[in-house]
Amino acid sequence: MSAHHQNIKIAVDAVVFGYQKSKLYVLLIQQKFGSQNDYWALPGGLVQEDEALIEAVKRELKEETNVSVNYLEQLYTFGDDISRDPRNRVISVAYFALVDPSKLTLIADTDAEKVSWVEIDKIPNLAFDHNEIIRLGIERLKNKVTYQPIGFDLLPTKFLFSQLENLYNTIIGKEIDRRNFRKKMMSFGFITETEEYATKKTGRPAKLYAFNTAEYKRLEKEGIHFEIKLV
C-alpha cells in the first residue's frame, strides 16, 4: 500500500434550536474572518489536536456565542463535497442542540462578528453548506419529538400546557388533536402539574406544568414506550 499525504481538517458545527412565542429559531453567527466573512453561518470551527469532538463543539459555542447547552446530539458528517469549504478540504461533524433562549445571553466573540436568533423560515443564504445542515437538523427534530420527549428542552422550566401543544404544532408543522395530545402526554407520568399559576391579565388563571426528569429517566430504564401519533 502506497503512502498518501493527507491535509484534511476536521471541524464541528452546531445547529442550536430555540423556541419563543410559538416560533422556532436557529442560532447563527456572522463571521469575522475567512473567505465567506460576509455570510451568516452556524457556530463552529476546527477541532484541536487534543480535543474530543463533543468538547470542540461545546467550546466553539461558548467562545463564539456565549451559549452553553445541556442537550447535544451528533447529527451528520459532511464531507462528500470536497469543495464545501473553499479554503481547505474540511470534513465537518454537525451537532444539534435544543435550548430555551430566555435563559441565555448571547455575546459574539472570537470568530463571530454578530450572533442572533433567526426564525427557521427566514434563514438567509448561509456560508458553506450550512443551509443543508440546518435542513437535516429540522428533519431530525421533527422526527425525534414524536418518539422521545426532547421538546421540553425548548420550554421554560415551568410551562403552560398550551405552550407544549403549540411547540409540537410549530415543530411538526401541522395541527395536533389537542384533546388526545393532552391525554396521551399526561398518561406517561413524567409531566407534573404544579400548584403555580401563570399570571394572566384577563380570564381564568392557568396552571403551570413541569417536566419531571428523574421520573422520565426511571421510566426509561423500565422501557417506557414514548410515542406521539399525529392526526
Q: Which domain holds residue 12?
A: 8-144
What are the distances in angstroms from CA 211 to CA 100, 115, 156, 165? 14, 30, 10, 14
Query: How far is it, in rounded angstroms, from Cα 176 to Cα 204?
Result: 24
Are 131 and 24 in a shared domain? yes
The pLDDT assigned to 112 comes to: 85
In a domain, 82, yes or no: yes
What are the distances in angstroms from CA 8 to CA 26, 55, 88, 116, 226? 28, 20, 7, 30, 41
Are 158 and 106 in a shared domain? no
What are the pLDDT digits (tens) for 174-217? 888 888 999 999 999 999 999 999 876 666 788 999 999 999 99
State the pTM of this model. Answer: 0.89
| Amino acid at position 201, single letter | K
Are 70 and 161 in a shared domain? no
Q: What are phi and psi of 109, to 5 degrees?
A: -150, 180
Domain count, the chain: 2
Are 40 and 113 in a shared domain? yes
In a domain, 1, yes or no: no
Which among 82, 112, 144 is the end of a domain? Answer: 144
What are the pLDDT digits (tens) for 152-186? 999 999 999 999 999 999 999 888 888 899 999 99
Are 159 and 121 in a shared domain? no
Q: What is the 3-state secondary structure (H, E, C) of 187-218?
A: HCCCEEEEEEECCCCCCCCCEEEEECHHHHHH
CATH number, domain of 204, equals 1.10.10.10
How sure is the predictor about 7, in pLDDT bands with cuts at 50, 70 and 90? Answer: confident
Which among 144, 161, 188 is the end of a domain? Answer: 144
Supply the angle between the helices 130-144 and 161-172 in degrees, to the nearest 10. Answer: 130
Query: How far is it, in rounded angstroms, from Cα 152 to Cα 190?
Result: 11
Write out the three cell numbers for 126. 448561509
How sure is the predictor about 71, in pLDDT bands with cuts at 50, 70 and 90? Answer: confident
pLDDT: is 110 or 150 the higher one? Answer: 150
The single residue listed with the C-alpha cell 422556532 is: 24
How sure is the predictor about 3, in pLDDT bands with cuts at 50, 70 and 90? Answer: low
Which among 99, 117, 144 is the end of a domain? Answer: 144
